[in-house]
Structure 1
Amino acid sequence: MGGPLAYLQYGLGKMLSPIRGHDSKLITNGPAFKDIPQPNMFLEAPECGPSGSRLLDHHTMLAKDGKGDFPELHWTPPPDVDVKEYVLICEDIDLPIPALVAHHGLFYGIPPTTTAVTNADIQHGSKDSKEHVTTAGWKYVPNMMGSVYLGPAPPLGHGSHRYVFTIVALKEPLNEKQPERLSRQKVSDAMVGKVVGWGQWIGTWERPWPK
């Protein structure tokens, strides 16, 4: 099943399959992390398993809403550090576009007392659609689709993609004066000199042949 369009998409995905692996463009390879090149925090996704595990279908485009749930994550604070704020980001580093890394979700203003996130925490929590605040009271930077979070939806035939979830501990809040203009790059720039810890968990997923 799938029809002619699926075969066309699959062929295109296969043709572009060598274009992937944009690891150097991860946010953790930016200047904000030059003094802490290795993770010093532990991030886990209990529902899925150790880093490198496959995301469950309800975390992806196969979910009932077509968007996918954010996987539950837990983390440990960095040792001997006074954390003021956490930043959480999910990046796809295997897009079929050279040197491009896209964020599926980017959240900041996460209180230092928080050590876990669930899908309920990251839903849009304001009646004002232009106000980028989640139900947990965190702030977010809209992704390429203009939404809070978008689960994995790699091209058919392109193979398995890696979705890198990174928790970042800051010793100072971002304190952005124009949050509506924030982008992934501007958050990366604003974290320079403030990062005191980070941890990563990687989930994988490949789009199945349509039924």
Structure 2
Amino acid sequence: MKPIVEVTLSWLLKNAKGRDAKCFYNRPAFAKHPEQTIEVTSPDCGPTDAQLGMEYTADGSGRFPALEWTAPPVISDKVKQWLLVSEDPDAPLPTPIAHGIFGGIPPSKTNVEAKDFEIDDESKALLKGGFHYGVTRRGVPYIPPRPLMNHGPHRYFYEVIALGEPLDPKLLNSKSTREQIADAIVGKVLGWGMWVGSYERVWK
């Protein structure tokens, strides 16, 4: 998209931001868990609300920021799987853009890094980190941040969800959608937390 067209779109859609109410963690599966109980940080980028460096965006190499998380014993002792969802609530669309959906993360794994998100077996939607990826708009495991130019800073939510029951392997192997995963985790959520990174593109 040419910069002038992108900037014009940004001006027209300047108020189309902040779709937090429609984020994944506000789905019915989280009704009993409205507050965060899991601490998520990024060894690469720092504490939550950090500015994403270019290498973690589509303007750079598009690396997934390393994440690590800690849950209180009342949660961690019951976890059967972790789920990781990345989305942009500031995209000028009716609902947040899903940048990545990753299910089947083993209970013993409480951190991820960029190499974990390389494809291991596409036929099973399996990644080298030992977990699976779902459907994104571009058909890739992860879409790096690329907000509209001059649309202001966009926040990117990296949500870690603790599940008390594992997801169906057939669902995980089938490149499931955000909606399918949201329905499948009803009654399974033990708690959640998120790390937030922000990024802005400006036409100079």
Please indicate the TM-score interval, normalised by the length of the shorter structure. over 0.9
Whether 2:133 is the aligned partner of 1:103: answer no
SS in 1 for 2:127: coil
Q: 2:24 aligns with which of 22, 27, 41?
A: 27
Q: Which structure 2 segments of 5+ residues have no match?
A: none
1:167-182 matches, cutoff 5 A:
167-178=160-171, 179-180=173-174, 182=176
Task: Write the mapping of 1:1-211 to structure 2, written as runs, cut at 5 A.
Answer: 5-64=2-61, 68-81=62-75, 82-97=78-93, 99-126=94-121, 129-178=122-171, 179-180=173-174, 182-209=176-203
Q: Is the 8 A contact 1:78 1:198 kept in 2?
A: no
CA distance in 2, matches of 1:111, 1:205: 30
Question: Is contact 1:105–1:141 with CA below 8 Å preserved after alignment?
Answer: yes
Query: How far does residue 6 in structure 1 lie from its aligned partner after superposition?
Result: 1.5
Aligned AA (2:162): A
CA contact (8 A) 1:142 1:149 kept: no
Contact kept in structure 2, 1:17 and 1:158, CA below 8 Å: yes
CA–CA separation in structure 2 for the residues paired with 1:181 and 1:90:
15
Deviations 1:9-35 (A, max 9, x none): 212212211101100111111111111
Distance 1:131 1:42 in 2: 30
User: What do you get for the CA RMSD once the two structures are aligned?
Assistant: 1.6
**Which whole-Å CA distance do the structure 1 matches of 2:89 and 2:72 have between them?**
25
Number of residues of Structure 1 aligned to a counterpart in Structure 2: 201
Question: Identity, % of aligned pairs?
Answer: 36
Cα separation, 2, equivalents of 1:196 and 1:13: 38
Does the 8 Å contact 2:23/2:95 carry over to 1? no
Unaligned residue ranges in structure 1 (runs of 5+): none
Q: 1:63 aligns to what SS in structure 2?
A: coil
- The amino acid that maps onto 2:74 is D
Q: Measure, in 2, the Cα distance between the counterparts of 1:133 and 1:195.
A: 23
Residues of 1 paired with 2:26 and 2:169: CA distance?
22
Whole-angstrom CA distance in 2 between matches of 1:196 and 1:39: 11
| Aligned partner letter, 1:73 | L
Q: CA deviation at 1:181?
A: 5.6
Contact 2:80 2:163 (C-alpha < 8 Å) held by counterparts: yes
Q: What SS does structure 2 have at the residue aligned with 1:125?
A: strand
What SS does the aligned partner of 1:208 have? coil
- Structure 1 letter corresponding to 2:6: Q
| Mapped contact 2:125–2:175 kept (Cα < 8 A) | no
Give the Cα–Cα distance (whole angstroms) in 2 for the partners of residues 42 and 27 of structure 1.
17
CA distance in 2, matches of 1:102, 1:92: 5
Distance verdict in 2 for CA 1:139–1:50, change over 3 Å? same
Q: 1:8 to 1:137 in 2, by over 3 A?
A: same
The normalised TM-score by structure 1 is 0.90
Aligned equivalents of 2:80, 2:8: Cα separation in 1: 48
